[in-house]
Amino acid sequence: MPFYSSLKSEREQDLRTVEGLLRLRKALDKAIPQRTLDQTLLLASWNLREFGNTKSGGREREPLFYIAEILSRFDLIAVQEVRDNLGALDGLMQILGGWWKYLVSDVTLGRQGNSERHAFIYDSRKLSFGGLAGELTPPLRKTEEGTLVSDFAFARSPYLVGFRAGWFRFTICTDHLFYGESKPDDPQRKEEARVLVQLLKERMQQRDRWARNAILLGDFNVFSTKDRTFLALKEGNFRIPRGLEGIYTNAKLDKPFDQMAFIAPDLRDQLEIAKAGTFPFFAHVYRDEDEAVYGAKDYQQWRTYKMSDHLPIWAELGVDFAQGYLEQKRGAGAGNALVAPNRKRPAPAQGRARKKA
């Protein structure tokens, strides 16, 4: 759990923060499954609006405590819109505690990069960083003059990292696709989705891939599930947990902007039944009925700069494959040695991961 010791009950703002945290904790207990030691992985993605941008007012202690409380309910969180200034992220990590770590990309240069980074925040007691970290970029070609050029570029380079949670070894790629005009299938956004899915799918088909399981998640800026931006995932054979299909993920609850999709053989039996969803935090902090308390101009917009204009999306994955592995090992004949998932030799088909009690 986060550290609350710096909150002082004699301070009016801190007391308000305590009340908000109590409401949050009660709601999170009902909405999010309990974390386990090694049986499950609670994965989330959250676009934190302009996180680290001091021009929009920044984050004071109060919203940082609320954000930390929400993040602490998960094991691994992909975060989009982390700005060049990492002060807000470092303040968040102080509240979360020393066992929480982060990996962060550099900003993509240029106006379209918007001084944004991608980040993965993870509980190092549960996950280990595998050493793989990099940005996905389209392949280059050589011109007649002998120089290398690219025919396409992402506004913000997707960020890919390798992790291990118990037996589950996986690569995870987070993105924040180009927004552009406020309409479905902006040409740049549509092409970013197509190229991103193609690059990751091709990588997963190569023998020297870092892991055979891949997760793609982040802010796709999808306006509807009929968008080409969204259909690129399905056409690339990425699977979306049923609990996340078509749900609205922005704070206004009218767009399925954020997505989470898998090419993960070790999870193939789970995605239809996995627990998944969003968390509507404005029902518990910075509520509609709190407008007079804060006295902010254009309160509905103002509060999105304290929390976000996106909801966190999440899924619970079973990562304890021991039962199925041992059952197959028991049934294997002499000479049919089995290996654990994600090792260099191909593993047998895994049974359904064990649910927690």
- Summarize pLDDT for 8-18 with one digit per residue, the tens: 989 999 999 99
Class (C level, CATH) for 12-320: alpha beta
- Summarize pLDDT for 9-63 with one digit per residue, the tens: 899 999 999 999 999 999 999 999 999 999 999 999 999 999 998 776 678 999 9
What sign does the dihedral 13-15-21-27 (CA atoms) show? Answer: negative
Domain range summary for the chain, segments of one domain joined by +: 12-320
Alpha carbons 104 and 78: distance in angstroms, whole number = 10
Cβ(199)–Cβ(138) below 8 Å: yes
- Summarize pLDDT for 69-104 with one digit per residue, the tens: 999 999 999 999 999 999 999 999 999 999 999 999
Contacts of 219 (CB under 8 A, 6+ apart): 45, 47, 80, 81, 175, 176, 177, 257, 258, 310
* DSSP label of 239: B
The per-residue DSSP string of 24-36 comes to HHHHHHHHSPPP-
> For the whole model, what pTM was predicted?
0.90
The pLDDT confidence band at residue 345, using thresholds 50, 70 and 90, is: very low
